[in-house]
Chains A and B, each alone.
Chain A
Amino acid sequence: MFREALFDSKAAAFGYIPLAMAFGMLFQSLQIHWIFSILMSFFVYAGSAQFIAIPLLANHASLLSLSIATFLVNMRHLFYGLAFLDKFKFNKFLKGYLIFGLTDESYAIICAKKKYDNKWYEFYIVFFCHLYWVLGTVLGVILYKNLVGINFNFLFFSLVTLFAILTVDAFKFTRNYFALIVGVLSYFIFRYLEVKEYLFFSMLLSFIIIFIRTYKTENMGKKNVFG
């Protein structure tokens, strides 16, 4: 199981190590102690939320807006767990760790290899992904220390590429123009109204609109069925 997991997790290694390196370098550009980058990757372990935190921390955002942004960016996890309720058959401590390590990548790998259905396979996948993420951060911190004077700002763009790719994947999966347009429009509304927490409000507005629309179509469906 160890070997299969190591082999299957190599896709995550190619994705996580460079991205975590970019995170490590950018987080260091806030001029803080190196240990914080590693603690952040070890304990928070949420790629998008960690990147989004960088501009927020740089602007000394309140802890409340930091937690709201973290919650919204990670909200998709709520729906991953629903697929895994019958998995992770460990004692409380190990199960707690596996739930902690449920990321986009580990979720995708475990879903793709349903045939194994082995709890140790699940454990190793989660463990390796976490390891790659921390390792990449350490490499990023080391690289930052050794490349003094180089401006790493352009690395912020790796975040744009990540989100653009995730958008393409999500769109391919659902082909949902409505959700895409709602998201883009609500973002521009709050952005150009110059609302301070425009990230939060645009996500909240889109959630409400999509929820109401889903509620309406579900009810219409029921009416049609029952006459």
Chain B
Amino acid sequence: MFLDNNLYIIYAIIIMSVVTYLTRIIPFAFFQYLNNPILRQTGKQLPVCLMAILTLYSIDSLKDFDNHYFINGWIACLVTIGLYLGLKSILTSMVIGTIVYYLLLNKIIAF
């Protein structure tokens, strides 16, 4: 992972800010078009679907540096979900989940 092209990063930041701002301002600008019951209903169902996809994608992204990403990622992910359901604390479950992953990655604990 090495980026020597500053211009590429600058363009990336500009384009990402513009796109992100668009997603935030569109409802204020085009309210009458978006306020359609089917689109609203779809919008309510999307978060669970998109977040699940992003969870899977971010586990798969671990493969760049972790040969056992699938098993390590899933164990630590299930630990995080279990802790979150039990303790209802976002920060605690994130921190402990990440520590568990660190221990698995460095083979301090192994399955």
Contact between chains at B9 and A100 (CB < 8 Å): no
Residues A50-84 near B (CB distance < 8 A): 50-53, 55, 57-58, 60, 63, 66-67, 70-82
Residues A83-122 near B (CB distance < 8 A): 85, 96, 99-100, 102
Majority DSSP secondary structure for residues of A touching B: helix
Measured between alpha carbons, how far is A45 from B16 in the docked complex, in Å? 9
Q: Please name all residues of chain A whose beta carbon is closer than 8 Å to the beta carbon of B38 when the two chains form the complex.
A: 211, 214-215, 218
Majority DSSP secondary structure for residues of B touching A: helix
Q: Which of A18, A82, A156, A206 contacts B35 (CB 8 A)?
A: A82
Contact between chains at B12 and A63 (CB < 8 Å): yes
Q: Which of A31, A81, A186, A210 contacts B46 (CB 8 A)?
A: A210
Residues A123-178 near B (CB distance < 8 A): 153-168, 170-171, 173-174, 176, 178
Contact between chains at A74 and B20 (CB < 8 Å): yes
- List residues of chain B with CB under 8 Å of any chain A CB: 1-3, 6, 8-17, 19-28, 31, 34-35, 37-62, 64-66, 73, 76-77, 80-81, 84-85, 90-91, 93-95, 97-98, 101-102, 105-106
